[in-house]
Amino acid sequence: MSFGQAFSGMFTSLNWAGWIHAFILLIMGGILASLLSRALVRVGGRLSRHQQVMLRRLVFYVVLLLFVIAALREAGFELSVLLGAAGILTVAIGFASQTSASNMISGLFLLAEKPFEIGNFIEVDSTRGEVVSIDLMSVKLRTVDNLYVRIPNETLIKSKVTNLTRFPLRRVDLQIGIAYRESIAQVKQLLLAMAEDDPRCLEEPRPFVLVLGLGASSVDLQFSFWVRTEDVRDMRSDMLQAVKDRLDREGIEIPFPHTSVYAGSASEPFRIQLVSPANQQDRANDDNTTI
């Protein structure tokens, strides 16, 4: 028997009706899985974005898997043989990709614990960004400068993760230094009045001012107030500028770091005077005349 005859015999012996039915089932499965997953997400309006995405993926893949199994049966495949081969292949892949398995297990812990959701702004080590996707293998972030960052789930489980937008309110802490000669009580009153005048600052919890310490060049204060989470960035910048302008108008000094040479309690600090080149030349001429 020639190769052409063998190929022709194999071609004619195929169950074409079964393969056509299997192909139709696959197409119907893909369409039905997509429609059903979208419909369920629309019905579950109370779910978070994270839960909606996970529900949509789960329904899609479960429905598609059922149609794939039905299509294989229509094509004449023995499912018992396929399941046995899939089990052996799964064990082999598991030994070959332990890191991927660890990421998948970590992803299940993240899905159960839910330390953050899609749309939250988180910080992992030194990376900050908005969560755009939570998958079994990794979490995708979009940073403030529009970079796409992929972080493995295992890294998230082992690292410190800060959710910056989990709660609706945030406290803004500003550190301000004033000169030693200024009145702390007056500065406190000014700062609290500024927080009261700004409608973005919340009345409860109340703003407050603390004395952090007596620094080398200034009295260090902490000015704290509460705002909505979405106003944190703008309020930090706006309030710092407003504090600088207000203290300047009131004549309150914001000192810069400086050092004074001091010889003891009975003496004044040494005076330091800048000498111009012309004064240096005159002093040199006077010295020459004296000699």
- Domain 17-96 is found in CATH 1.10.287: yes
CA distance 78 to 73: 7
CA distance 25 to 38: 20
CB 201 within 8 A of CB 263: no
CA distance 5 to 16: 19
Query: Looking at this protein, which amino acid is placed at residue 21?
Result: H
pLDDT (0 to 100) of residue 282:
60
pLDDT (0 to 100) of residue 10:
47
**DSSP secondary structure of 220-246:** EEEEEEEEEGGGHHHHHHHHHHHHHHH
CA distance 219 to 253: 11
**CATH no., domain 113-163:** 2.30.30.60
pLDDT (0 to 100) of residue 125:
86
| Per-residue burial over 78-103, b = 16 or more CB atoms within 10 Å of its CB, e = otherwise | eeeeeeeeeeeeeeeeeeeeeeeeeb
Cβ neighbour number for residue 106 with a 10 Å cutoff: 21
Please compute, for residue 255, the number of CA atoms within 13 A of its CA located in the half-sphere on the CB side.
17
CA distance 270 to 268: 6
Q: Which CATH number fits domain 169-249: 3.40.50.720, 3.40.50.300, 2.70.70.10, 3.30.70.100?
A: 3.30.70.100
pLDDT (0 to 100) of residue 212:
94
Polymer length in residues for the chain? 291
pLDDT (0 to 100) of residue 12:
56
E strands, the chain, are 121-124, 127-134, 138-142, 148-152, 161-163, 169-178, 208-214, 219-228
pLDDT (0 to 100) of residue 286:
58
**Residue 247 backbone dihedrals phi, psi, to 5 degrees:** -65, -35
pLDDT (0 to 100) of residue 213:
92
Q: In what order do the strands lie in the sheet with 169-178?
A: 169-178, 219-228, 208-214
Write the CA distances from 88 to 91, 99, 105, 136, integer angstroms: 5, 19, 20, 22
For the chain, the domains span: 17-96, 113-163, 169-249
Please compute, for residue 209, the number of CA atoms within 13 A of its CA located in the half-sphere on the CB side.
18
pLDDT (0 to 100) of residue 136:
78
pLDDT (0 to 100) of residue 83:
61
Question: Assign residue 203 a region: left if phi > 0, alpha if psi is -120 to 50, beta otherwise?
Answer: alpha
pLDDT (0 to 100) of residue 80:
62
Blockwise average pLDDT, block size 10, the chain, 291 residues? 48 62 78 77 62 71 77 68 59 59 80 85 91 87 93 90 92 94 94 94 93 91 95 93 94 81 58 62 57 49
